[in-house]
Chains A and B, each alone.
Chain A
């Protein structure tokens, strides 16, 4: 399989804080990759740097063979990569349908937009039912579906999900992971940051373990699940 995304010596800084310290990883087409690690390990900073929401201090990012290191966020959705950010961040004062329409903002092809609506509404019938409701009035689980649906509207090849199960009831969390598998079956490549380590490793093919801005372990999900590096990343993580 070919690398869809490949990252070399990526570093992210916030003033004096070194949030990500020169990490390397790659994501192959059709994979689900889990990014794990304690709070503050640098997982969100990594995803945000990939999509240009925070500046890349050094290193290179290559997507489909193209250097996208310093691309601004608005160029990535049209290129086929998007992020559903931590904390969902739906537009609360926009209706559900308006949120989804914004997800398709970058697409010019009318048929592609039509297909995106059908796909998202058939994945999430509840969003169709609530299409005229303000997104801010949805439940947490529904908002998460909307955040993922909105990201899917741009028809991404690579979808980055930052803590999609954050703050959701256990029953709903199961649905989120089912969705991740389903999307992969539909041909989407996924990178998922998760605090739910066990469930993440169950659906993922491979994982990377972050600690203090570095990748301290990586490998197939089944092997990582039992690794000491994973345990110490959570127990000893700063």
Chain B
């Protein structure tokens, strides 16, 4: 029972990080149909910012907002420089562009920073843990869960109460009609990238907090997971991305904890099989995007 509770906390922490990343992918995809594989490099940029802040002696509390802001700026620049020229191209062209951006950034990290993993200085408290009714919980896990909840609440309020947020939902459902209302394409797309950068930045802080290091390929694996989570939840659906992220986190953690030792090497394929089975029953994901339901002429 204790083990189950313990692993549930871990699942929420990991699932929350996946949810934030999947949300970042979904916000952009829902508006412009782009699957941004360079989303992972936004994480990496944020990770390096934390590293340099640590080297410069800037306190972690200040480094976190700086790292998030840098990821947001990088995301907006990425859209300006790389994605705006291909905005009206096919989904395949945009996808290939995002791969190219991802690879170029990885090469830049390798050449200008280091090919090897670099340590990131973290505050001691993150490696502490507290005992809660017999459970030993790492503070970094608690921080991850709290940060996820704060981000989800913030995003929910933004999307429901802010005019720009509502416009982004409208544009996600029917971009052309949204433009007819006077909603500028550049505004909602830049807004979507800024949000996705913010989400990638927060996810990066959480990711680095569990590992204390950053390397040029840091963003690759989590973004692949986030992509799976986004599809699991329903590509382009924000609620779906959150649901998919948590479900994937739960699948991974529970399999790692409860699969018999002799089957552990099949953990990843078993996890993916569960995802495929879910998709067989719900081909459009757990919570399909609104744009799939609305009729388009």
Contacts and interface: CB of A to CB of B under 8 A. Distances in A.
A44 B179 CA distance: 17
Nearest to B178: A102
B111 interface: no
Chain A interface size band reads 20 to 34
Nearest to A82: B180
A105 B163 contact: yes
B179 A102 contact: no
Interface stretch (A58-66, A91-99, A169-177, A189-197): A91-99
Interface stretch (B143-151, B167-175, B210-218): B167-175
Contact of B297 (A73, A86, A91): A86
A89 interface: yes
B137 interface: no
Interface residues of B, number: 23
A73 B188 CA distance: 14
Contacts of A74: 179-185
Nearest to A88: B295
A105 B181 contact: yes
A75 B183 CA distance: 9
Given A91-B170, A91-B174, A94-B166, A102 B181 contact: yes
A136 interface: yes
B177 A91 contact: yes
25 contacts: A72-B179, A73-B180, A74-B181, A82-B181, A85-B176, A85-B177, A86-B297, A87-B297, A89-B296, A91-B177, A92-B293, A93-B169, A93-B293, A93-B294, A94-B166, A94-B169, A98-B169, A98-B170, A102-B170, A103-B181, A105-B181, A105-B183, A106-B182, A136-B293, A136-B294
Nearest 4 CB-CB pairings of A with B? A106-B182, A93-B290, A73-B179, A77-B182
